[in-house]
With several copies, the nearest count.
Chain A
Amino acid sequence: MPALTAGESARIRADFPILSRTVRGGAPLVYLDSGATSQKPLAVLDAERDFYLRHNAAVHRGAHQLAEEATEAFEGARGRIARFVGAQPDEVVFTKNGTEAINLVAYAMSNAGAPGALDGADPEVARRLQVGPGDEIVVTEMEHHANLVPWQELCRRTGATLRWVGVTDDGYLEDPRSVIGPATKLVAFTHVSNVLGTVVDVADLVSAAREVGVLTLLDACQSVPHQPVDVTALDVDFLVFTGHKVLGPSGVGVLWARPELLAAMPPFLTGGSMIEIVHMERSTFAPPPQRFEAGVPVAAQAVGLAAACDYLDTVGMERVAAHDHALMGYTLEQLAQRPWVRVLGPSDPAHRVGAVAFTVEGVHPHDVGQVLDDQGIAVRTGHHCAWPLHRRLRVPASTRASFGVYTTTAEVDAFLVALDRVPQIFGVSA
Protein backbone atom coordinates (compact mmCIF):
# COMPACT_ATOMS: atom_id res chain seq x y z
CA MET A 1 0.00 0.00 0.00
CA PRO A 2 1.66 3.28 -1.07
CA ALA A 3 2.00 6.29 1.24
CA LEU A 4 0.11 9.46 0.34
CA THR A 5 1.41 11.41 -2.63
CA ALA A 6 2.34 15.07 -2.28
CA GLY A 7 -0.82 16.03 -4.14
CA GLU A 8 -3.02 13.94 -1.88
CA SER A 9 -1.32 15.37 1.18
CA ALA A 10 -1.90 18.90 -0.05
CA ARG A 11 -5.58 18.19 -0.68
CA ILE A 12 -5.95 16.70 2.78
CA ARG A 13 -4.21 19.63 4.43
CA ALA A 14 -6.60 22.04 2.72
CA ASP A 15 -9.41 20.42 4.73
CA PHE A 16 -7.72 21.48 7.98
CA PRO A 17 -7.59 25.31 7.98
CA ILE A 18 -5.81 25.48 11.33
CA LEU A 19 -2.72 23.96 9.71
CA SER A 20 -2.11 27.15 7.76
CA ARG A 21 -1.99 29.44 10.77
CA THR A 22 1.19 30.88 12.23
CA VAL A 23 2.41 30.94 15.82
CA ARG A 24 5.06 32.72 17.91
CA GLY A 25 5.28 35.84 15.87
CA GLY A 26 4.92 34.49 12.37
CA ALA A 27 6.34 30.96 12.31
CA PRO A 28 4.19 28.58 10.25
CA LEU A 29 2.55 26.05 12.57
CA VAL A 30 4.03 22.55 12.36
CA TYR A 31 1.58 20.49 14.40
CA LEU A 32 3.32 17.35 15.67
CA ASP A 33 1.02 16.81 18.64
CA SER A 34 -1.72 14.68 17.10
CA GLY A 35 -1.04 12.05 19.75
CA ALA A 36 -2.54 14.47 22.27
CA THR A 37 -5.43 15.47 20.03
CA SER A 38 -5.94 15.54 16.29
CA GLN A 39 -7.08 18.50 14.27
CA LYS A 40 -10.56 18.30 12.68
CA PRO A 41 -11.39 18.48 8.98
CA LEU A 42 -14.10 20.90 7.86
CA ALA A 43 -16.36 17.94 7.04
CA VAL A 44 -16.48 17.06 10.75
CA LEU A 45 -17.19 20.62 11.85
CA ASP A 46 -19.83 20.96 9.15
CA ALA A 47 -21.56 17.74 10.19
CA GLU A 48 -21.82 18.92 13.79
CA ARG A 49 -23.03 22.37 12.83
CA ASP A 50 -25.53 20.96 10.36
CA PHE A 51 -26.96 18.74 13.07
CA TYR A 52 -27.49 21.75 15.33
CA LEU A 53 -28.85 23.98 12.59
CA ARG A 54 -31.31 21.50 11.16
CA HIS A 55 -32.09 18.55 13.41
CA ASN A 56 -31.26 19.47 16.98
CA ALA A 57 -33.54 17.87 19.57
CA ALA A 58 -33.20 15.55 22.53
CA VAL A 59 -32.65 12.08 21.08
CA HIS A 60 -34.75 9.12 22.29
CA ARG A 61 -36.97 11.51 24.21
CA GLY A 62 -39.57 12.79 21.84
CA ALA A 63 -41.95 11.79 19.11
CA HIS A 64 -42.00 15.02 17.13
CA GLN A 65 -40.24 15.28 13.80
CA LEU A 66 -37.06 16.98 15.04
CA ALA A 67 -36.69 14.39 17.78
CA GLU A 68 -37.11 11.65 15.17
CA GLU A 69 -34.47 13.20 12.94
CA ALA A 70 -32.05 13.72 15.81
CA THR A 71 -32.53 10.15 16.96
CA GLU A 72 -31.98 8.86 13.46
CA ALA A 73 -28.80 10.95 13.08
CA PHE A 74 -27.50 9.71 16.43
CA GLU A 75 -28.29 6.05 15.82
CA GLY A 76 -26.99 6.37 12.26
CA ALA A 77 -23.73 7.65 13.71
CA ARG A 78 -23.59 4.69 16.06
CA GLY A 79 -23.93 2.34 13.11
CA ARG A 80 -21.31 4.20 11.10
CA ILE A 81 -18.79 4.19 13.92
CA ALA A 82 -19.48 0.52 14.69
CA ARG A 83 -18.72 -0.30 11.07
CA PHE A 84 -15.44 1.63 11.30
CA VAL A 85 -14.14 -0.96 13.79
CA GLY A 86 -15.99 -3.97 12.41
CA ALA A 87 -18.65 -4.03 15.13
CA GLN A 88 -22.45 -4.19 15.34
CA PRO A 89 -24.31 -0.97 16.30
CA ASP A 90 -25.74 -2.34 19.56
CA GLU A 91 -22.26 -3.21 20.77
CA VAL A 92 -21.15 0.42 20.72
CA VAL A 93 -21.63 2.66 23.77
CA PHE A 94 -20.95 6.38 23.57
CA THR A 95 -19.03 8.04 26.40
CA LYS A 96 -17.46 11.49 26.68
CA ASN A 97 -13.90 10.29 26.07
CA GLY A 98 -11.68 7.24 26.21
CA THR A 99 -11.13 7.73 29.91
CA GLU A 100 -14.85 7.49 30.71
CA ALA A 101 -15.11 4.35 28.58
CA ILE A 102 -12.42 2.62 30.67
CA ASN A 103 -13.96 3.88 33.92
CA LEU A 104 -17.32 2.53 32.76
CA VAL A 105 -15.94 -0.99 32.66
CA ALA A 106 -14.08 -0.56 35.96
CA TYR A 107 -17.18 0.75 37.72
CA ALA A 108 -19.47 -1.86 36.17
CA MET A 109 -17.11 -4.45 37.66
CA SER A 110 -17.18 -2.96 41.15
CA ASN A 111 -20.91 -2.27 40.93
CA ALA A 112 -21.37 -5.95 40.10
CA GLY A 113 -20.63 -6.57 43.77
CA ALA A 114 -23.64 -4.55 44.99
CA PRO A 115 -26.74 -6.46 46.17
CA GLY A 116 -28.97 -7.47 43.27
CA ALA A 117 -26.79 -5.80 40.66
CA LEU A 118 -26.45 -8.99 38.64
CA ASP A 119 -30.01 -10.25 39.05
CA GLY A 120 -31.14 -11.78 35.81
CA ALA A 121 -27.64 -11.87 34.30
CA ASP A 122 -26.20 -15.05 32.81
CA PRO A 123 -24.47 -16.61 35.84
CA GLU A 124 -21.34 -17.58 33.93
CA VAL A 125 -20.89 -14.05 32.52
CA ALA A 126 -21.79 -12.55 35.91
CA ARG A 127 -19.02 -14.54 37.57
CA ARG A 128 -16.45 -13.13 35.14
CA LEU A 129 -17.46 -9.58 36.02
CA GLN A 130 -17.19 -9.95 39.79
CA VAL A 131 -14.01 -8.76 41.49
CA GLY A 132 -12.95 -9.10 45.10
CA PRO A 133 -10.04 -9.78 47.44
CA GLY A 134 -7.70 -12.40 45.98
CA ASP A 135 -8.60 -11.43 42.43
CA GLU A 136 -6.08 -9.69 40.23
CA ILE A 137 -6.31 -7.03 37.52
CA VAL A 138 -3.40 -7.03 35.10
CA VAL A 139 -2.18 -3.96 33.21
CA THR A 140 1.18 -3.11 31.67
CA GLU A 141 3.91 -0.71 32.66
CA MET A 142 3.43 1.25 29.43
CA GLU A 143 -0.19 2.25 30.03
CA HIS A 144 -1.54 5.75 29.76
CA HIS A 145 -2.82 6.88 33.17
CA ALA A 146 -6.32 6.43 31.72
CA ASN A 147 -5.75 2.68 31.59
CA LEU A 148 -3.95 2.47 34.92
CA VAL A 149 -5.54 4.69 37.55
CA PRO A 150 -9.12 3.40 37.02
CA TRP A 151 -7.82 -0.11 37.77
CA GLN A 152 -5.90 1.06 40.83
CA GLU A 153 -9.15 2.57 42.05
CA LEU A 154 -11.15 -0.54 41.18
CA CYS A 155 -8.69 -2.48 43.34
CA ARG A 156 -9.09 0.07 46.12
CA ARG A 157 -12.88 -0.33 46.01
CA THR A 158 -12.93 -4.12 45.81
CA GLY A 159 -9.81 -5.33 47.60
CA ALA A 160 -8.41 -6.89 44.42
CA THR A 161 -4.71 -6.62 43.58
CA LEU A 162 -3.15 -4.79 40.65
CA ARG A 163 -0.34 -6.52 38.79
CA TRP A 164 1.50 -5.51 35.66
CA VAL A 165 3.50 -6.79 32.73
CA GLY A 166 6.87 -5.03 32.68
CA VAL A 167 8.56 -3.17 29.84
CA THR A 168 12.00 -3.97 28.43
CA ASP A 169 14.71 -1.36 27.96
CA ASP A 170 13.92 -1.13 24.28
CA GLY A 171 10.22 -0.59 24.87
CA TYR A 172 8.58 -3.97 24.36
CA LEU A 173 6.39 -5.83 26.82
CA GLU A 174 7.92 -8.57 28.93
CA ASP A 175 6.41 -12.06 28.95
CA PRO A 176 2.75 -11.66 29.98
CA ARG A 177 2.49 -15.28 31.13
CA SER A 178 4.60 -14.55 34.17
CA VAL A 179 1.83 -12.23 35.40
CA ILE A 180 -1.45 -13.49 33.93
CA GLY A 181 -2.69 -16.44 35.90
CA PRO A 182 -5.69 -18.14 37.48
CA ALA A 183 -6.23 -15.22 39.90
CA THR A 184 -6.52 -12.75 37.02
CA LYS A 185 -9.99 -11.30 36.26
CA LEU A 186 -9.10 -8.86 33.51
CA VAL A 187 -6.10 -7.95 31.37
CA ALA A 188 -6.25 -4.29 30.32
CA PHE A 189 -3.56 -3.16 27.91
CA THR A 190 -2.82 -0.66 25.23
CA HIS A 191 -2.77 -1.44 21.53
CA VAL A 192 -0.17 1.23 20.79
CA SER A 193 1.91 3.06 23.41
CA ASN A 194 1.19 6.78 23.29
CA VAL A 195 4.84 7.46 24.17
CA LEU A 196 6.90 4.76 22.49
CA GLY A 197 4.64 4.09 19.56
CA THR A 198 5.16 0.38 20.29
CA VAL A 199 2.52 -1.78 18.63
CA VAL A 200 1.69 -4.38 21.25
CA ASP A 201 1.36 -8.03 20.25
CA VAL A 202 -2.38 -8.22 20.97
CA ALA A 203 -2.68 -11.84 19.85
CA ASP A 204 -0.08 -12.92 22.38
CA LEU A 205 -1.78 -11.16 25.30
CA VAL A 206 -5.19 -12.37 24.22
CA SER A 207 -4.02 -15.96 24.01
CA ALA A 208 -2.34 -15.67 27.42
CA ALA A 209 -5.64 -14.39 28.81
CA ARG A 210 -7.65 -17.11 27.04
CA GLU A 211 -5.44 -19.81 28.44
CA VAL A 212 -6.77 -18.92 31.87
CA GLY A 213 -10.20 -17.82 30.61
CA VAL A 214 -10.12 -14.18 31.66
CA LEU A 215 -11.42 -10.93 30.15
CA THR A 216 -9.34 -8.58 27.99
CA LEU A 217 -9.71 -4.83 27.46
CA LEU A 218 -7.80 -3.10 24.69
CA ASP A 219 -7.05 0.61 24.87
CA ALA A 220 -7.12 1.43 21.16
CA CYS A 221 -6.96 5.23 21.62
CA GLN A 222 -3.63 5.36 19.78
CA SER A 223 -4.24 2.68 17.17
CA VAL A 224 -7.66 3.58 15.74
CA PRO A 225 -6.37 6.93 14.35
CA HIS A 226 -3.50 5.30 12.49
CA GLN A 227 -4.42 1.86 11.20
CA PRO A 228 -7.39 -0.36 10.39
CA VAL A 229 -8.85 -1.81 13.58
CA ASP A 230 -11.29 -4.69 13.62
CA VAL A 231 -12.78 -5.93 16.87
CA THR A 232 -13.40 -9.40 15.51
CA ALA A 233 -9.85 -9.90 14.31
CA LEU A 234 -8.42 -8.57 17.57
CA ASP A 235 -10.64 -10.98 19.51
CA VAL A 236 -10.62 -8.91 22.72
CA ASP A 237 -13.63 -8.54 25.04
CA PHE A 238 -13.65 -4.74 25.40
CA LEU A 239 -12.16 -2.09 23.14
CA VAL A 240 -11.96 1.63 23.85
CA PHE A 241 -11.12 4.63 21.71
CA THR A 242 -11.62 8.36 21.82
CA GLY A 243 -13.13 10.65 19.18
CA HIS A 244 -10.86 13.65 19.46
CA LYS A 245 -7.75 11.71 18.44
CA VAL A 246 -9.36 10.29 15.30
CA LEU A 247 -10.31 13.60 13.63
CA GLY A 248 -13.56 13.77 15.60
CA PRO A 249 -14.82 16.41 18.00
CA SER A 250 -13.97 16.46 21.68
CA GLY A 251 -16.62 15.12 24.02
CA VAL A 252 -17.15 11.68 22.50
CA GLY A 253 -15.52 8.35 23.29
CA VAL A 254 -16.44 4.80 22.38
CA LEU A 255 -16.68 1.58 24.34
CA TRP A 256 -17.14 -1.55 22.32
CA ALA A 257 -17.88 -4.78 24.17
CA ARG A 258 -19.08 -8.27 23.37
CA PRO A 259 -22.87 -8.26 23.50
CA GLU A 260 -23.09 -10.92 26.19
CA LEU A 261 -20.91 -8.78 28.45
CA LEU A 262 -22.93 -5.62 27.87
CA ALA A 263 -26.08 -7.64 28.51
CA ALA A 264 -24.85 -8.74 31.93
CA MET A 265 -23.06 -5.59 33.09
CA PRO A 266 -24.80 -3.44 35.69
CA PRO A 267 -25.07 0.25 34.80
CA PHE A 268 -22.45 2.87 35.60
CA LEU A 269 -23.95 6.38 35.18
CA THR A 270 -27.66 6.29 35.97
CA GLY A 271 -30.53 8.68 35.24
CA GLY A 272 -32.82 9.36 32.30
CA SER A 273 -32.87 7.32 29.06
CA MET A 274 -31.15 4.27 30.61
CA ILE A 275 -34.12 2.99 32.58
CA GLU A 276 -36.88 0.49 31.92
CA ILE A 277 -39.25 1.15 34.85
CA VAL A 278 -38.70 3.65 37.65
CA HIS A 279 -40.36 3.56 41.06
CA MET A 280 -39.27 5.60 44.06
CA GLU A 281 -38.15 2.36 45.73
CA ARG A 282 -36.28 0.80 42.84
CA SER A 283 -35.68 0.88 39.11
CA THR A 284 -34.95 -1.54 36.33
CA PHE A 285 -32.72 -0.76 33.39
CA ALA A 286 -32.90 -0.71 29.62
CA PRO A 287 -30.98 -3.17 27.45
CA PRO A 288 -27.56 -2.10 26.09
CA PRO A 289 -26.36 0.21 24.66
CA GLN A 290 -28.98 2.54 26.23
CA ARG A 291 -28.30 1.14 29.70
CA PHE A 292 -24.88 2.79 29.60
CA GLU A 293 -25.90 6.16 28.17
CA ALA A 294 -27.59 8.11 30.93
CA GLY A 295 -28.83 11.63 30.27
CA VAL A 296 -29.10 13.51 27.02
CA PRO A 297 -26.30 11.91 24.98
CA VAL A 298 -23.47 13.50 23.01
CA ALA A 299 -25.48 13.43 19.79
CA ALA A 300 -23.83 16.21 17.81
CA GLN A 301 -20.44 14.83 18.78
CA ALA A 302 -21.37 11.32 17.65
CA VAL A 303 -22.51 12.76 14.33
CA GLY A 304 -19.17 14.57 14.04
CA LEU A 305 -17.26 11.39 14.80
CA ALA A 306 -19.23 9.49 12.15
CA ALA A 307 -18.17 12.18 9.65
CA ALA A 308 -14.57 11.62 10.76
CA CYS A 309 -14.97 7.89 9.99
CA ASP A 310 -16.28 8.81 6.55
CA TYR A 311 -13.32 11.10 6.02
CA LEU A 312 -10.76 8.49 7.01
CA ASP A 313 -12.43 5.74 5.02
CA THR A 314 -12.36 7.97 1.97
CA VAL A 315 -8.60 8.26 2.34
CA GLY A 316 -8.55 4.56 3.25
CA MET A 317 -7.21 3.33 6.57
CA GLU A 318 -4.65 1.11 4.82
CA ARG A 319 -3.20 4.20 3.19
CA VAL A 320 -3.35 6.16 6.43
CA ALA A 321 -1.27 3.37 7.95
CA ALA A 322 1.18 3.39 5.02
CA HIS A 323 1.55 7.14 5.38
CA ASP A 324 2.25 6.86 9.09
CA HIS A 325 4.74 4.12 8.40
CA ALA A 326 6.62 6.26 5.90
CA LEU A 327 6.78 9.20 8.33
CA MET A 328 7.92 6.91 11.11
CA GLY A 329 10.70 5.35 9.03
CA TYR A 330 11.97 8.72 7.88
CA THR A 331 11.90 10.28 11.35
CA LEU A 332 13.70 7.39 13.03
CA GLU A 333 16.31 7.31 10.28
CA GLN A 334 16.99 11.03 10.59
CA LEU A 335 17.11 10.99 14.37
CA ALA A 336 19.51 8.05 14.29
CA GLN A 337 22.00 10.35 12.61
CA ARG A 338 22.02 12.56 15.71
CA PRO A 339 23.98 10.80 18.45
CA TRP A 340 22.89 13.43 21.01
CA VAL A 341 19.28 12.26 20.59
CA ARG A 342 18.03 9.16 22.43
CA VAL A 343 14.84 7.78 20.91
CA LEU A 344 12.67 5.88 23.39
CA GLY A 345 11.08 2.60 22.31
CA PRO A 346 11.65 0.16 19.46
CA SER A 347 14.22 1.15 16.87
CA ASP A 348 12.44 -0.91 14.21
CA PRO A 349 9.82 1.31 12.55
CA ALA A 350 7.77 -1.78 11.69
CA HIS A 351 6.95 -2.14 15.38
CA ARG A 352 5.86 1.45 15.87
CA VAL A 353 2.95 3.70 15.05
CA GLY A 354 2.19 7.38 15.43
CA ALA A 355 4.68 8.78 17.92
CA VAL A 356 8.39 9.29 18.52
CA ALA A 357 9.47 10.34 22.00
CA PHE A 358 13.08 11.19 22.69
CA THR A 359 15.50 12.94 25.00
CA VAL A 360 18.48 15.14 24.30
CA GLU A 361 21.55 14.41 26.39
CA GLY A 362 22.02 17.15 28.98
CA VAL A 363 18.93 19.18 28.09
CA HIS A 364 15.61 18.85 29.89
CA PRO A 365 12.74 17.77 27.56
CA HIS A 366 10.80 20.89 28.49
CA ASP A 367 13.59 23.04 27.23
CA VAL A 368 13.79 21.04 24.03
CA GLY A 369 10.06 21.52 23.54
CA GLN A 370 10.37 25.21 24.20
CA VAL A 371 13.07 25.67 21.58
CA LEU A 372 10.89 23.80 19.08
CA ASP A 373 7.77 25.74 20.02
CA ASP A 374 9.58 29.01 19.50
CA GLN A 375 10.20 27.96 15.93
CA GLY A 376 6.56 26.97 15.38
CA ILE A 377 6.97 23.23 16.00
CA ALA A 378 4.23 22.01 18.36
CA VAL A 379 5.35 18.88 20.23
CA ARG A 380 4.48 17.62 23.65
CA THR A 381 6.85 17.52 26.59
CA GLY A 382 6.52 15.85 29.97
CA HIS A 383 5.45 12.35 30.92
CA HIS A 384 2.52 12.26 28.46
CA CYS A 385 0.26 10.70 31.10
CA ALA A 386 2.59 7.70 31.26
CA TRP A 387 4.67 8.50 34.30
CA PRO A 388 5.50 4.92 35.35
CA LEU A 389 6.80 4.18 31.85
CA HIS A 390 9.16 7.15 32.05
CA ARG A 391 10.34 6.03 35.46
CA ARG A 392 10.96 2.57 34.02
CA LEU A 393 13.05 4.01 31.18
CA ARG A 394 14.94 6.14 33.72
CA VAL A 395 14.03 9.49 32.21
CA PRO A 396 12.13 12.17 34.11
CA ALA A 397 10.21 13.15 30.99
CA SER A 398 10.53 13.21 27.21
CA THR A 399 9.78 15.27 24.14
CA ARG A 400 7.28 13.67 21.76
CA ALA A 401 6.57 14.31 18.09
CA SER A 402 3.41 12.57 16.88
CA PHE A 403 1.73 12.30 13.52
CA GLY A 404 -1.67 12.70 11.92
CA VAL A 405 -3.00 11.89 8.47
CA TYR A 406 -2.17 15.51 7.51
CA THR A 407 1.48 15.36 8.65
CA THR A 408 4.12 15.65 5.91
CA THR A 409 7.78 14.78 5.50
CA ALA A 410 8.41 18.50 5.03
CA GLU A 411 7.08 19.02 8.54
CA VAL A 412 9.41 16.37 9.88
CA ASP A 413 12.25 18.23 8.14
CA ALA A 414 11.20 21.51 9.74
CA PHE A 415 11.16 19.73 13.09
CA LEU A 416 14.70 18.41 12.52
CA VAL A 417 16.05 21.83 11.54
CA ALA A 418 14.54 23.33 14.68
CA LEU A 419 15.83 20.46 16.80
CA ASP A 420 19.37 20.99 15.55
CA ARG A 421 19.45 24.35 17.30
CA VAL A 422 19.08 22.70 20.71
CA PRO A 423 22.68 21.60 21.33
CA GLN A 424 24.03 25.01 20.46
CA ILE A 425 21.55 26.97 22.62
CA PHE A 426 22.25 24.84 25.66
CA GLY A 427 25.97 24.44 25.02
CA VAL A 428 25.93 20.65 24.84
CA SER A 429 27.96 18.81 22.25
CA ALA A 430 26.14 17.95 19.01
Chain B
Amino acid sequence: MDLYGELILEHSKRPVHAGLRDGFDAEVHHVNPTCGDEVTLRVHLDRAGDEPVLQDLSYDALGCSISTAATSMLAEESVGRPVRETLATYRGIHAMLMSKGADPGDPEVIGDAVALAGVARYPARVKCALLGWSAYLDALARAGVDISGMRP
Protein backbone atom coordinates (compact mmCIF):
# COMPACT_ATOMS: atom_id res chain seq x y z
CA MET B 1 0.00 0.00 0.00
CA ASP B 2 2.42 2.65 -1.14
CA LEU B 3 -0.58 4.95 -1.60
CA TYR B 4 -0.83 5.60 2.12
CA GLY B 5 2.57 7.10 2.77
CA GLU B 6 3.61 8.87 5.97
CA LEU B 7 2.73 12.32 4.70
CA ILE B 8 -0.82 11.40 3.75
CA LEU B 9 -1.50 9.68 7.05
CA GLU B 10 0.07 12.55 8.95
CA HIS B 11 -2.00 15.21 7.12
CA SER B 12 -5.20 13.20 7.42
CA LYS B 13 -4.76 12.72 11.16
CA ARG B 14 -3.64 16.24 11.95
CA PRO B 15 -4.98 18.46 9.15
CA VAL B 16 -3.16 21.80 8.93
CA HIS B 17 -5.20 25.00 9.49
CA ALA B 18 -8.32 22.86 10.14
CA GLY B 19 -11.44 24.36 11.70
CA LEU B 20 -13.71 27.18 10.56
CA ARG B 21 -12.55 30.68 11.43
CA ASP B 22 -14.40 33.98 11.28
CA GLY B 23 -13.59 36.96 9.09
CA PHE B 24 -13.97 35.32 5.69
CA ASP B 25 -14.94 36.61 2.25
CA ALA B 26 -16.76 33.49 1.04
CA GLU B 27 -17.84 30.09 2.35
CA VAL B 28 -18.78 27.07 0.26
CA HIS B 29 -19.95 23.54 0.97
CA HIS B 30 -18.94 20.80 -1.48
CA VAL B 31 -19.81 17.11 -1.49
CA ASN B 32 -18.74 14.10 -3.46
CA PRO B 33 -22.13 12.52 -4.15
CA THR B 34 -20.80 9.06 -4.94
CA CYS B 35 -19.27 8.64 -1.51
CA GLY B 36 -20.66 11.35 0.73
CA ASP B 37 -17.37 13.14 1.48
CA GLU B 38 -18.03 16.75 2.47
CA VAL B 39 -16.01 19.90 2.99
CA THR B 40 -17.01 23.33 4.22
CA LEU B 41 -14.36 25.84 3.26
CA ARG B 42 -13.81 29.57 3.83
CA VAL B 43 -11.39 31.95 2.17
CA HIS B 44 -10.23 35.24 3.63
CA LEU B 45 -8.47 37.49 1.13
CA ASP B 46 -6.16 40.43 1.60
CA ARG B 47 -6.71 42.84 -1.27
CA ALA B 48 -4.54 45.67 0.01
CA GLY B 49 -1.63 45.07 -2.39
CA ASP B 50 -1.32 44.74 -6.14
CA GLU B 51 -2.92 41.37 -6.24
CA PRO B 52 -5.13 39.39 -3.85
CA VAL B 53 -3.36 37.33 -1.22
CA LEU B 54 -4.91 34.35 0.57
CA GLN B 55 -4.81 35.58 4.16
CA ASP B 56 -6.60 32.56 5.60
CA LEU B 57 -8.17 29.34 4.44
CA SER B 58 -10.23 27.55 7.08
CA TYR B 59 -12.23 24.39 6.62
CA ASP B 60 -14.12 21.50 8.12
CA ALA B 61 -13.54 18.28 6.18
CA LEU B 62 -15.40 15.00 6.58
CA GLY B 63 -13.99 12.32 4.34
CA CYS B 64 -11.40 9.73 3.57
CA SER B 65 -7.71 10.17 4.28
CA ILE B 66 -7.04 11.20 0.69
CA SER B 67 -9.58 14.00 0.63
CA THR B 68 -8.69 15.19 4.13
CA ALA B 69 -4.95 15.09 3.47
CA ALA B 70 -5.33 16.85 0.13
CA THR B 71 -7.31 19.66 1.73
CA SER B 72 -4.75 19.95 4.51
CA MET B 73 -1.93 20.16 1.97
CA LEU B 74 -3.86 22.79 0.05
CA ALA B 75 -4.13 24.88 3.20
CA GLU B 76 -0.51 24.38 4.20
CA GLU B 77 0.74 25.24 0.75
CA SER B 78 -1.51 28.23 0.11
CA VAL B 79 -2.17 30.31 3.21
CA GLY B 80 -0.26 33.57 3.06
CA ARG B 81 0.51 33.35 -0.63
CA PRO B 82 -0.77 35.42 -3.57
CA VAL B 83 -3.85 33.74 -5.06
CA ARG B 84 -2.16 33.62 -8.44
CA GLU B 85 0.58 31.40 -7.07
CA THR B 86 -1.88 29.05 -5.39
CA LEU B 87 -3.56 28.58 -8.75
CA ALA B 88 -0.25 27.53 -10.24
CA THR B 89 -0.04 24.93 -7.49
CA TYR B 90 -3.51 23.79 -8.44
CA ARG B 91 -2.55 23.37 -12.07
CA GLY B 92 0.44 21.30 -11.03
CA ILE B 93 -1.61 19.03 -8.80
CA HIS B 94 -4.35 18.66 -11.37
CA ALA B 95 -1.90 17.69 -14.08
CA MET B 96 -0.29 15.13 -11.80
CA LEU B 97 -3.60 13.59 -10.77
CA MET B 98 -4.83 13.32 -14.36
CA SER B 99 -1.60 11.81 -15.65
CA LYS B 100 -2.52 8.21 -14.72
CA GLY B 101 0.87 7.97 -13.01
CA ALA B 102 3.04 9.51 -15.73
CA ASP B 103 3.61 12.82 -13.91
CA PRO B 104 5.16 12.41 -10.42
CA GLY B 105 4.56 16.06 -9.51
CA ASP B 106 7.14 18.78 -8.82
CA PRO B 107 7.75 19.39 -5.08
CA GLU B 108 8.90 22.92 -5.93
CA VAL B 109 5.45 23.69 -7.29
CA ILE B 110 3.08 21.54 -5.25
CA GLY B 111 4.92 20.85 -2.00
CA ASP B 112 3.77 17.94 0.16
CA ALA B 113 1.11 17.14 -2.46
CA VAL B 114 3.68 15.07 -4.33
CA ALA B 115 2.69 12.43 -1.81
CA LEU B 116 -0.64 12.23 -3.66
CA ALA B 117 1.03 11.11 -6.90
CA GLY B 118 -0.12 7.51 -6.30
CA VAL B 119 -3.74 8.61 -6.40
CA ALA B 120 -3.44 9.15 -10.16
CA ARG B 121 -3.50 5.38 -10.62
CA TYR B 122 -6.98 5.21 -9.07
CA PRO B 123 -9.34 7.32 -11.20
CA ALA B 124 -12.19 6.95 -8.72
CA ARG B 125 -10.05 8.53 -5.98
CA VAL B 126 -8.92 11.52 -8.03
CA LYS B 127 -12.20 13.20 -7.15
CA CYS B 128 -11.37 12.74 -3.47
CA ALA B 129 -8.02 14.46 -3.89
CA LEU B 130 -9.65 17.34 -5.75
CA LEU B 131 -12.62 17.90 -3.45
CA GLY B 132 -10.91 20.57 -1.35
CA TRP B 133 -9.40 22.20 -4.40
CA SER B 134 -12.69 22.45 -6.24
CA ALA B 135 -14.23 24.00 -3.12
CA TYR B 136 -11.32 26.45 -2.97
CA LEU B 137 -11.76 27.52 -6.60
CA ASP B 138 -15.48 27.93 -6.06
CA ALA B 139 -14.89 30.02 -2.91
CA LEU B 140 -12.44 32.27 -4.79
CA ALA B 141 -15.01 32.76 -7.56
CA ARG B 142 -17.67 33.68 -5.03
CA ALA B 143 -15.27 36.08 -3.38
CA GLY B 144 -15.01 37.82 -6.74
CA VAL B 145 -11.63 36.58 -7.97
CA ASP B 146 -11.43 35.86 -11.68
CA ILE B 147 -10.46 32.18 -11.90
CA SER B 148 -11.42 31.81 -15.54
CA GLY B 149 -9.02 29.58 -17.35
CA MET B 150 -8.15 27.91 -14.05
CA ARG B 151 -10.38 24.86 -14.38
CA PRO B 152 -8.56 22.78 -16.97
- B is a partner of A: yes
Task: List the interface of chain A (C-beta within 8 A of B).
Answer: 60-63, 67-68, 71-72, 275-277, 286, 363-367, 370-371, 373-374, 381-383, 387, 390, 396-397, 421, 425-427
Taking a contact as CB atoms under 8 Å apart, the answer to whether A62 and B124 are in contact is yes
CB within 8 A of A63: which of B1, B4, B122? B122
Least CB distance from A77 to B in Å reads: 16
Identify the interface centre among B1, B37, B62, B68: most chain A CB within 10 Å of its CB: B1
Contact assessment for A275 and B123 in the assembled complex, using a CB-CB cutoff below 8 Å: no
Residue B148 at the A interface, CB < 8 A?
Answer: no
Q: How far, in Å, is A263 (CB) from chain B's closest CB?
A: 16
Q: Which of B31, B34, B65, B66 contacts A61 (CB 8 A)?
A: B34
**Pair A277/B31 contact, Cβ less than 8 Å:** yes
Cross-chain contact B124 with A63 (CB below 8 angstroms): yes
**A421 to B9 Cα, complex, angstroms:** 15
Decide if the interface of chain A is mainly helix, strand, loop or mixed. mixed
* In the complex, per-residue mask of B29-58: 1 if CB is within 8 Å of any chain A CB, else 0: 001011111100000000000000000000
Does B80 sit within 8 A of A, measured CB to CB? no
Q: Are A367 and B66 in contact (CB under 8 A)?
A: yes
B125: chain A residues at CB < 8 Å are 63, 366, 370
A366 touches which one: B9, B38, B64 (CB < 8 A)? B64
The reply to whether A67 and B9 contact each other, CB–CB distance below 8 Å, is: no
B128 within 8 A of A: yes
Q: Is the CB of B123 within 8 A of A382?
A: no
Across the interface, B35 reaches (CB within 8 A) one of A67, A276, A366, namely A366
Is the beta-carbon distance between B36 and A68 smaller than 8 angstroms? no
A382 to B125, CA, bound (A): 12
Q: Which residue of B lies closest to A371 (CB)?
A: B1
From known contacts A371-B1, A374-B1, infer whether A397 and B122 are also in contact, taking CB-CB under 8 Å.
no
Interchain CB contact under 8 A, A374 and B3 = yes
- B63 near A: Cβ within 8 Å? yes
Contact with A along B111-147 (1 / 0, CB 8 A): 0000000000011110010000000000000000000
Cα–Cα, bound, A421→B37 (Å):
23
Given contacts A366-B64, A426-B4, 20 further A-B pairs with CB under 8 A are A60-B34, A62-B124, A63-B125, A68-B124, A275-B33, A276-B31, A364-B63, A364-B64, A366-B63, A366-B65, A367-B4, A383-B36, A387-B36, A390-B36, A396-B37, A396-B38, A396-B62, A425-B4, A426-B9, A427-B9
Chain A residues positioned under 8 Å from B9 (CB to CB): 426-427
Complex formed: what's the CA distance from A309 to B37 in Å?
37
